[in-house]
Amino acid sequence: MFIDKSMTKKVITIHKDAPILEASEKMKQNNIRHIPVVDKDNILLGVVTDRDIRSAMPSVALADLDTQKERERITKLKVEDIMTKNPVTISPANTLEDAIMLMQQTKVGAFPVVDENRKLQGIISIRDMMRAFINVLGIEEPGTLLCILVENKLGQMKRIVDAISEEKVSFGSILVARYWDENKRAVFPYLLTNNVMNIKKKLKNMGFTLLDPMNWYLDQLPKA
C-alpha cells in the first residue's frame, strides 16, 4: 500500500511567522498534534507539535501569568522559534510498511509527505495507518480471529485456506507471524463468522495446534 493512498491530503498548515498561540488554537480546533510549517509555495520548512508548544508555554493560563514580561514573551513567540527544522519526511511513493519502520526507528508519530522538491503533498500519522490496516485486514466487520501453529514449510497455508473454504466461511484477512521456535510459524486467519467450533475441530483433526490469540505476545518472538 502506497503512502499517497492512505495519507491525509487536506493538511492544516501554518506559516513560520505565525504566533505559537495560533498554532495551539489550530491544533485544538482540528484535533491534531502536528502542523507542517510551509512557505507561500507550500514548501516544507519544518513541523510544530503539541509537545513543542507545551515546552514553550507555561502550564498556567496566559491571563494568570505573574508578570507582564512573561506575558509579552509568550505572545511574541513565533512558530519558527519552536518548530523542528528539517523534519523526517517520507515520499508519496513509499509504502505504509516503510512508514511503520521509519516510525519505529525515529519514534516520530507523523511524517510530512513531500515530493522531490520538498513540496508538501500530505501527512501520514499513526491514525492514518491504523485506518488503512483496519480496512485491509477486514476487522471492521464482525468475526473471529484464530491462531494456528504450523510447521515452517511449504503447503501449510494452502491446507489451512482450503480447510476453512470448504466450510463456506469467508476470510477478512490472514497473517503469518514468526514464533519463538524458528521451525514454526503462527497463522492468524480473521474469519467473518462467529461460528468457528467446527472449523477449530477440523483443524485440530488435521494435526494443527490452535493457540488463544489473546495469549499471543511479543516476548514469544525470536530476538531480532
All structural domains of the chain: 3-134 (3.10.580.10), 138-220 (3.30.2130.10)
pLDDT value at 59 more than 70: no
What is the C-alpha separation between 22 and 85, in angstroms, rounded? 19
Cβ–Cβ < 8 Å for 136, 173: yes
Average pLDDT, the chain: 87
Q: How confident is the model at residue 60 (pLDDT cuts 50, 70, 90)?
A: very low
For a pLDDT cut of 70, what percent of the chain falls above it? 89
What is the C-alpha separation between 41 and 195, in angstroms, rounded? 56
Stretch 201-224: mean pLDDT, rounded? 77
Q: How confident is the model at residue 67 (pLDDT cuts 50, 70, 90)?
A: low
Cβ–Cβ < 8 Å for 138, 174: no
* Whole-number pLDDT of residue 58: 62
* Whole-number pLDDT of residue 37: 98
What is the C-alpha separation between 79 and 14, in angstroms, rounded? 8
pLDDT value at 223 more than 60: no
